[in-house]
Amino acid sequence: MPAARLATAVPAYPHPIGMVQRVYGGGTSYSEHRKEAPTGAAVSPVIDNIETVARLEAEFEKRRTWPEWLADIIGGFAGSMTFVLIHVLWFAVWLLINTGHFFGVPVFDPYPFIFLSMAVSVEAVLLATFVLMKQNRMGRRAEEREQLHLQIAMLAERESTKNLQIVRALCRHLGLSLEAEDREAEQLSQATSVDQLAANLRERLPEP
Which DSSP category does 26 fall into? Answer: I
Q: What is the pLDDT of residue 42?
A: 58
pLDDT at 41: 52
pLDDT, residue 86, reads: 95
Please compute the mean of the pLDDT values over residues 22-34 and round it to a whole number.
46
Detail the DSSP E strand segments found in 3-100.
Answer: none
Please give the pLDDT value at position 48: 82
**Residue 180 pLDDT level (bands cut at 50, 70, 90):** low
Question: How many angstroms separate the CA atoms of 158 and 168, rounded?
Answer: 15
CB 102 within 8 A of CB 96: yes
Helix axes 81-98, 66-78, angle to 10 degrees: 70
Tens of pLDDT along 44-87? 778 887 888 888 888 888 888 888 888 889 988 988 999 999 99
Q: What is the pLDDT of residue 168?
A: 83
Residue predicted with more confidence, 12 or 158: 158
What is the Cα gyration radius of the chain? 30
Residue 43 phi, psi (nearest 5): -75, 135
The arithmetic mean of pLDDT across residues 110-124, rounded, is 92
**pLDDT exceeds cutoff 50 at 173:** yes
The more confident residue out of 137 and 25 is 137
Task: Give me the residue spans of the domains in the chain.
Answer: 13-63
Is residue 72 helix, strand or coil?
Answer: helix
How confident is the model at residue 124, as a pLDDT?
94
Strands of 10-163 (E only): list them. none
Alpha-carbon span 22 to 26, nearest angstrom = 5
Report the pLDDT value the prediction gives residue 3, as an integer from 0 to 100: 41
Closest CA to 67 of 170, 142, 148, 137: 137
pLDDT at 186: 77
The predicted structure's pLDDT at residue 9: 39
Q: What was the pLDDT predicted at 100?
A: 85
- What's the pLDDT score for residue 103? 83
Query: Has residue 33 got a pLDDT over 60?
Result: no
